[in-house]
Each structure stands twice: as structure tokens, then as C-alpha cells.
Chains A and B, each alone.
Chain A
Amino acid sequence: MSEDLYQEIILDHYKNPRGKELNVTSRGQSHQVNPTCGDEVTVDVGLNADGTLQVAYTGQGCSISQASASVMSELINGKTPDQAAPIQAAFMELMRSKGQSEPDEELLEDGVAFIGVSKFPARIKCALISWMALADSQIKAQLTTEMR
């Protein structure tokens, strides 16, 4: 059951985070904390010349929160806001699924490993914190799909 939660992919992202502390020209920043356990993530969003997103994050917290931030940055970096939106929606959906959904691997790639997390109510927030920060920083940067 711990194995359910801590899939290899998650532990790998935790130990070897991707895209952490990337240098981006930030257009919007969001700092999110999980007030029950003190996890913190800051996400910066910028824009490449070709209209794709740059995403950088820093943070500290449990393996789930930090691995999720790493997966998030890997998935969203270099995507246009239009391409990113369905990925973001799919990850939110996965976290609401209580382990019952069959996530789309094409879309979520390493993100599918988080299906086990959705069975542990106390950990869902950990997995979502970076995605919340992403959505909030996109709003601040006016780089969401709805806003264009």
C-alpha cells in the first residue's frame, strides 16, 4: 500500500527533480503553501518567443509535493497555454478519481503515477499544490487559455 503511493516514477522525480530552479523571465509568480503540513511551492511562468510557456519552480516539502512539481514542470514547459490546459484538467481529474480512473498516458506521461495518491485524501493536496501555483501564476501572467 505504501508502494501504491510511492511509485518508482514518483521517487525518481523526488530524488532527481526536473526543471527545478530554471531561469525564466517571469511574467507571473505564485507562492502556495499547504497550511496543514508546511509544504511550499513557488511557480514562475514566462513566455518563449514561439508562444510556449516557460515554467520554473522552487519549493520544499514531502516527496509527493516535490515530485508532482517536477512532473508538472516537465509536462508544461514548452507547451502553449492551449496545449497545457487539457493536461492541467486531466491531472485535476486524476486527483479527484479516488484511484478509479484510467488516466491518459499520452497526455499525462509520468503524471499517471499519481493515481495511487488520489486514494489518500491527506496527500491529494500535496500532489496538487504545484498545479494550483501554476494555474494561479498563469492568471497573474494572463497566460491562460480563457483569457486570450
Chain B
Amino acid sequence: MFDIAKVRADFPILSRTVRGGPLVYLDSGATSQKPFQVLDAERHFYENSNAAVHRGAHALAEEATDAYEGARETIATFVCAETDEIVFTKNATEAINLVAYAFSNATDKARQGIEVDQRFVIGPGDSIVVSEMEHHANLIPWQELCSKTGASLRWFGITDEGRLNIESGVIDSTTKIVSIVHQSNLLGTINPVREIMEMAHAVGALGLVDLCQSVPHMPVDVVDLGADFAAWSGHKMLGPTGIGILWGKSDLLNSMPPFLTGGSMIEMVNIDHSTFAPAPKRFEAGVPMVAQAVGLARACEYLTDLGMENIFTHEQELTAYTLAELAKLQGVRVIGPTDMVERGSAVSFVVDGIHPHDVGHLMDSKGVAVRVGHHCCWPTCRRLDVPATTRFSTYLYNDKADIDQAILGIMAAQDFFGSAPRVSA
């Protein structure tokens, strides 16, 4: 295991005060805090090697290109992928859109009689499969693709406990792509994505997994998950904002039409037509986010040094503790799995008689940062019949003292709104 006090000392923001007391940060599911090692790596890049990559005949351009491509390699290694299968995007949202747009662009081109890979051509009679626990980032792009092409959207429902209901017949021979979240950011549920990817492949469909809440928190081998594409964001795993990853199988990436077009992504340009570079460059138009890539690679090294197994174990312990402490409070109901079976560290709950926005506000007055609302999973909230939830989401720098302070925050809210809890025996 690792020394939490030492880890915390790496995160400058954790030593600031909020509303007159120490900060208790329980919103890492939204975005993680950054260790100084990551901040220093970005700063070091800007101070020493800053230049536009893949152009320029000077030493700095060379160093910057090395830094950028080196970062790609580090990140690939972190998830056991091939380096040229890692595409840098702005965030996970853009990565998922990139794939959705590959379908819509290929379909448009096919309509013009241009030869495209049929795996990306979609239309009426075809289907796309998601689940009822998707983040809006893995829902709206598919809704839009359906509305543009006439394909229909299908989904796996969820149980009252917040588990995926993997009914047969949802994925069938009409299915072109299945896109599923690995770990729910609202419920904490970890889904059997390998099994679902096999179901997709059995009918000849492609599969995408949303790894936003898994890559930061557990060891992930993208190849082993059995998907064709995976998307996640750097900022939730100690990295900077402004960088996300699309992982895709080389053969697929190279047969997809480009998403954003312009400089850097081309092979040959004539005044009236062009050809495109192979992946990953094909999807990285314009001057990319070099410093962010350097920062994210440093974040991967930081995580690797601590050990993703250790981080997972630490968070499992903390989550078990959180669930046990919440269970002691009367009038508090966890939304999502209440045991530790296939569950990660995001814990949502509702407090009887107090709206999550009010719970969050009173917790904030005690320096506890939590997220309230529908967490970009509005259909999930509808399904579970809650207008919104309060969510704790922990990370490697949180400890039991943070949870204790947060529990006090809930009790303070119950006191304030006149529904004070009694501790059950």
C-alpha cells in the first residue's frame, strides 16, 4: 500500500482552506486534483521545449515532438495498448463524438457513392445499443446519430439496485455499435463489459467502452476488455484538462473517415481534394495539446509508481467504509449497489426530506466538496425515480477522516432541516 499522508502532500490544493476550514474534496468523479509532479511536468515543457509539434526544422520542434509522441507511448503502456492506437482528443466527450461522427460521415459519403468501410454505414433498420446508466456524453452523440441516419436507439435497462439488466434480444443482427460505460459515474456500478463486447461481436457489431471512471481507479487493459474503441478523459486521472483519449483498433481507425479536418491530419493536399494521414494523426487536426499530453503522461507514471492495484484496494476499503457509515444514518438511502460486489468508489445517495442541492450546500459550508444533481445521467435518475442525488466520489488522496467529515455534513443538514438522525445500534 502507499502512505496517504505522503500522497496528500503531493497535491497543493489539498492544503488550502475552504469556508474557513480544511478542504475535503469528494468530487474526483467530476475532476481529480493534480499533484505537483504533473504541474511541474507541464511547466518544465513550456520552460524548456515548447514548440509546435510535427513541423519546424529546429531543435525545439524536435524536442516537443519527442515529448508529445513519448507521452503517447507512456499512456499506451498504461492501458496495455499499441502506441499508434492512442488518439488524443479534447476529452472523452470528443472521443465518443469522433466515433459517432465516423458513422455519420461514412454514411453521408456512401450516399454520395463514395467507397467507405461498410462497418460504419448506418441507416433505417439498423440499431445502436447503449444502457440506461450512460453519462450524457455516451448517449447524446448516439441519439444524434440516430436522428441523422434513421437508425434506432436501444438500451439495456437497469434494476432498482442500479445493476445492468442484460436482457437478450437488445443486441441483434441489426446492431451496428454497442456503447457501454465500464463504471457508472452516478451509481458506482462496474459493468461486465467483456461479456457485452462478446455479445456485440457475435452479431458483427462494433463495441465502445466508456472508461472515464475506470482507468483512473483500477488497472485497465484495454485489449483484454475486448472492445473495439475506448474513451476516457485525462483530467479525471490526475492529468490536465483539455486532453482525452480515444483508443481504437488500428484497422478500424484507419478505415474511418476523419472527424475534424485541417492541418497535420493530411497526407497529400491538392486544391480540390486531399488524402489523409494514417491514425492517430488522421484524427489530430491542428496544433495539438502538447503540454497536456506531457502532463497526462506524468500522471500515468505517478499512478504507476503507486500501483493501480494499490489504488483500487485503497478505494475499495474507503468505499466499504463509506457505505457502512451511510447505512448508520437514518433517512439516508444509497442510490446504486449497497454492497461491494462489482462496485467502484462513486457513491450516490438521497436524504429524506432534503433536496440534494440543499445537502450539498450545507456540506460545502463545512468545507466538504460534493456533487449534487443528475450527474449528467438524467435518464438514470428518472429510471430510479430520484430528481437528483448527492454524490461522494473519492480518489487515492482521500481517507476515512474525509468520509467522517462528510458524514458530519449530512448530519448537519438533517439538523438544519429538522430531520436529525439517530445512530442505529
Using a CB–CB cutoff of 8 Å, the interface residues on chain A facing chain B are 1-2, 5-6, 11, 36-40, 60-65, 120, 123, 126
Contacts and interface: CB of A to CB of B under 8 A. Distances in A.
A37 B416 contact: no
Contact of B387 (A61, A123, A126): A61
Contacts of A62: 355-358
A126 to B, nearest CB: 7
Nearest to A6: B416
Of all A-B residue pairs in the complex, the 5 with the closest CB atoms, nearest first, are A62-B357, A62-B355, A37-B373, A38-B388, A38-B387
A34 B361 CA distance: 16
A60 B357 contact: no
Nearest to B372: A37
Contact of B361 (A5, A38, A61): A5
Contact of A1 (B19, B357, B416): B19
B25 interface: no
Contact of B358 (A1, A40, A63): A63
A65 B416 CA distance: 17
B408 to A, nearest CB: 14
B355 A61 contact: yes
Contacts of B373: 36-38
Contacts of A38: 373-374, 378, 381, 387-388
A2 B387 CA distance: 23
B362 A2 contact: yes
Contacts of A37: 356-357, 372-374, 388
Contacts of B358: 6, 62-64
Contacts of A63: 355, 357-358, 417
Nearest to A63: B358
A60 to B, nearest CB: 6
Query: Which of B19, B357, B387, B417 gathers the greatest number of chain A CB atoms within 10 Å?
Result: B357
Nearest to B355: A62
B159 interface: no
A60 B381 CA distance: 14
A106 B157 CA distance: 53
A5 to B, nearest CB: 7
Contacts of B387: 38-40, 60-61
A2 B388 CA distance: 21
A25 B357 CA distance: 33
Nearest to A61: B355
Given A6-B416, A38-B373, 13 more contacts: A2-B416, A36-B373, A37-B356, A37-B373, A38-B387, A40-B387, A60-B387, A61-B355, A61-B387, A62-B355, A64-B357, A65-B357, A123-B361
24 contacts: A1-B365, A2-B361, A2-B365, A2-B416, A6-B358, A37-B357, A38-B373, A38-B374, A38-B381, A38-B387, A38-B388, A60-B387, A61-B355, A61-B357, A62-B355, A62-B356, A62-B357, A63-B355, A63-B357, A63-B417, A64-B357, A65-B357, A123-B361, A126-B357
Nearest to B381: A38
Nearest to A2: B365
Contacts of A39: 357, 387
Nearest to B382: A38
Contacts of B365: 1-2
A37 to B, nearest CB: 4
A40 B361 CA distance: 19
Contacts of A6: 358, 416
Interface string B239-270: 00000000000000000000000000000000
Query: Which of A11, A62, A63, A120 gathers the greatest number of chain B CB atoms within 10 Å?
Result: A62
Nearest to B357: A62
Contacts of A126: 357
A62 B357 CA distance: 6
A120 B362 CA distance: 13
Contacts of B372: 37
